[in-house]
Amino acid sequence: MRRLLITACALNVLLVAPLWWRFGTLSPLIAWEAWVIAPAMLLLPAGRWRRWLGSGVVSALALATATNLGDAATHTAFGRSLNLYLDVPLVRSIYHLLVGNVGQLAAICLMLLGGVLLIGVLWLMLRLLLPARPPTRRGRARNAAVVLLVVSSSMALLEVNHYRLVPQAALPMVATARFQWEQVVDTHRARQAFTAQLEETPIAAQVLPGLAGRNVLLTFIESYGVSALKDPRYNRTLLLTLEDLKRRLSQRDLHVVSGLVASPIRGGQSWLAHATTLSGRWIDNQLWYRLMLESGHSTMIDDFRASGQRTLSVMPAITLAWPEGRAYGFDQIVAAKDMPYEGPPLNWVTMPDQFTLDYTQRELLGNSPLFAQIALISSHAPWTPILPVLENWSLVGDGSLYAPWENAGDPPEVIWRDLERIRDHYAWSVDYAVSVAGRWAERVANEQTLLIVLGDHQPAPLITGDEASAAVPVHIISGDPALLDPFKRRGFVEGMLPPLAHPQEAPRMSQLRHWLQQDFGPAATSARTTP
C-alpha cells in the first residue's frame, strides 16, 4: 500500500510540476495518468514483458515531462508554446546563450547536470514501477490497487471525453501528445502553404530611385519593445532620453518621425525579425527562415543593389560560421571576428554598441552609397554590466578602455535571482542602446542619409508580462524632410516618441520593405516628378 501511494505521488508530481511553472499556479494538482499507471504496473505479474512495458511507460513519462518543461521554458523565453516540429534546432542556441551568460565551463556543467538529473529521475521511476521484489498480489494492497485503477481509469476516460468531475485534475500526458500532434499536422500544412506562396507569389526585387545615391542604414536595437516606452517600470528614464535625442537632432537640422511595427517574435531569435524586415515576408519560425533563404527569395539587399548601393551587414553577435549571410547576398559581412575589438567580452555581449557604431562609421561606411544592416546587441539579456555613453567618441578607439567594466557590478547569476533587479537592468541597458544609437545619428545622418532605427522584438514575458503586444518602436531619421513624408502618411508622428495608444494594431514588420518599394520605387518617383 505504501509503495503504491509513493509511486503514484511521485509520478503525479513529475507530470504536474512543469505545468505549475508554465501557468504560474499550483493547478492542476492531479494527473490521472499517474494514478492509472502506478496501480496497473504494480498489479502486473513479474516477467520480461512487464519489464519491457515498464521501460516503455517510463520513456513516455520522460518524453511528456521533457516536452512540458520545454513548453514552460519556451513560453518564459519567447511568449509562445513549444512546437516540436520547429523548435528542436533551438537546443544549440540555448547552449550558446548559456555560454555567453555563464561561460563555457559553467554551461557544460549545467547541461551535464541536467542530463544527470534526467537519468536520475528515470532510474527512480523505474525502481518505483519495477521493484526488485515483486509486489504482493494479495490482501488489502491488491484490493486498494484495483479500486484505485478502476476509479482513476474512469475519471481519465471522462476527462478524455471532456467531462471533468474533479476541477483540479487533468491528463498532462494525453493533452501534451494531442497538442503536439495537432501542431505537427498544422505546421506541416502551413509549411506546404508557405512554400507554395514563395513559388507562386514572389516579391520581385525592385529598383528604388527615390533612395538612389543615399546611405540607408537599417539599425536594429536588441530587445527594444514598446513596453520599454509604455510600461511605467521602464519608461521613466527612456522617455527623458528620447526627448533629449529629439532636441539634439533638431539642433543639427536632422528630422525624425516615429511609429510602431509588430515583430514576428518575442524574447529571442532576433534573426527572424531581421529576415522579416529584409524579405517582406512574415518569418516567425526557424523553418520559414530556412525555406525563405533556400528559395532564393529576393530581399532589400537585392532592391538596394539594383539601386546602386553597396550592401553591408554588421553583426557583432555572430561568432560562428554564418552561411545565411552569404545566402542573403551581402557584398560585405562584418562579424565579431572582423572587428578589431580589444576590450573584454561583457557576458553575452561580444562588444558594446558604441564601439560597433563607431567602428562602422570610421571604417565601413566609405564614400559610395550604402545599404547597411546593423544589429546592435548591448541590450541583450542578461543586461549586465551597464555601460556609460561616452560623449567623446574619440575615446572609444579599439575598445580597450572597456576593461574596467569586465567584472563591474553583480554577475548575471546574482542579478537573475531578483526579478525587480532584472527589470531594472533591462531598462538601463535599453536606455544605453537607444542613447548610443541616437548620438550616432547625430554623427552619420545628413541630407543623403535615411537612418531606420527599430527594435527587433519585445523582451521575454518575464519583463513585459504575458499580455503585452508584439510592437516595437521605429525611428526614421534624415537631414532631408522629404524622405520622412511617406512615413508620416502611414501614421508615423514627428519626434522620437511613437504613438502608444493602440500598439496591438501596429502593422507588421514585414511591411517595411513594401513601404520602401511603394514610396521610393519607380511609380512613386514618377508621380512626384510629373507636373
Average pLDDT, rounded, for the chain: 85
Q: Which pLDDT score, from 0 to 100, does residue 513 have?
A: 95
| Omega before 385 within 30 of 0, i.e. cis | yes
Cβ atoms < 10 Å from Cβ of 61: 22
State the Cα–Cα distance between residues 454 and 457, nearest whole angstrom: 9
State the Cα–Cα distance between residues 428 and 426, nearest whole angstrom: 6
For the stretch 40-69, pLDDT in tens is 877 777 777 777 887 788 888 888 888 888
- φ and ψ at 261, to 5 degrees? -135, 155
Q: Which pLDDT score, from 0 to 100, does residue 90 have?
A: 62
State the Cα–Cα distance between residues 157 and 173, nearest whole angstrom: 13
State the Cα–Cα distance between residues 376 and 299, nearest whole angstrom: 21
For the stretch 479-498, pLDDT in tens is 999 999 999 999 999 999 99
State the Cα–Cα distance between residues 416 and 381, nearest whole angstrom: 10
Higher per-residue pLDDT: 75 or 508: 508
State the Cα–Cα distance between residues 406 and 108, nearest whole angstrom: 22
Q: Which pLDDT score, from 0 to 100, does residue 134 have?
A: 54
For the stretch 237-296, pLDDT in tens is 899 999 999 999 999 999 999 999 999 998 888 999 999 999 999 998 888 888 888 888
Q: Which pLDDT score, from 0 to 100, does residue 285 have?
A: 84
Do 510 and 281 form a contact (C-beta atoms < 8 A)? yes
Q: Which pLDDT score, from 0 to 100, does residue 295 have?
A: 83
Angle between helices 511-520 and 522-529 (to 10 degrees): 40
pLDDT greater than 90 at residue 398? yes
Angle between helices 48-78 and 104-129 (to 10 degrees): 140
Sketch out the chain's domains with CATH numbers: 2-188 (no CATH), 208-529 (3.40.720.10)
pLDDT greater than 70 at residue 98? no
User: CB within 8 A of 130, min separation 6: which ones?
Assistant: 41, 50, 51, 54
For the stretch 420-474, pLDDT in tens is 888 999 999 999 999 999 999 999 999 999 999 999 999 988 888 878 899 999 9
Q: Which pLDDT score, from 0 to 100, does residue 138 have?
A: 56
pLDDT greater than 60 at residue 376? yes
For residue 390, what is its C-alpha cell? Answer: 561616452
Higher per-residue pLDDT: 185 or 437: 437
Confidence of residue 228 (pLDDT cuts 50, 70, 90): very high
**CA-to-CA dists, residue 243 to 87, 225, 395, angstroms:** 40, 18, 26
Q: What share of the chain in percent tops pLDDT 90? A: 43
State the Cα–Cα distance between residues 445 and 169, nearest whole angstrom: 61
Q: Which pLDDT score, from 0 to 100, does residue 135 have?
A: 55
- φ and ψ at 289, to 5 degrees? -60, -50
**Mean pLDDT along residues 161-180:** 84
Which span out of 144-148, 170-174, 189-193 was modeled with the highest average pLDDT?
A: 170-174
- Residues paired with residue 312 on neighbouring β-strands, in sequence order: 332, 372
Residue with cell 543639427: 252
For the stretch 129-143, pLDDT in tens is 776 665 555 567 677
pLDDT greater than 60 at residue 306? yes
Greatest Cα-to-Cα distance within the chain, rounded to the nearest angstrom: 100
Q: Identify the burial level of 358 via C-beta atoms within 10 angstroms of its C-beta, where 0-12 means exposed, 13-18 middle and 19 or more buried.
A: buried
Query: Which range is least confidently modeled, 362-376, 399-413, 508-522?
Result: 399-413
Do 50 and 134 form a contact (C-beta atoms < 8 A)? no
Do 300 and 521 form a contact (C-beta atoms < 8 A)? no
Q: Which pLDDT score, from 0 to 100, does residue 359 have?
A: 96
State the Cα–Cα distance between residues 198 and 387, nearest whole angstrom: 43
How many angstroms separate the first and last alpha carbons of the chain?
93
Q: If we measure between CA atoms, which residue out of 238, 277, 240 comes closest to residue 379?
A: 238
| Omega before 28 within 30 of 0, i.e. cis | yes
pLDDT greater than 70 at residue 93? no
Higher per-residue pLDDT: 200 or 470: 470
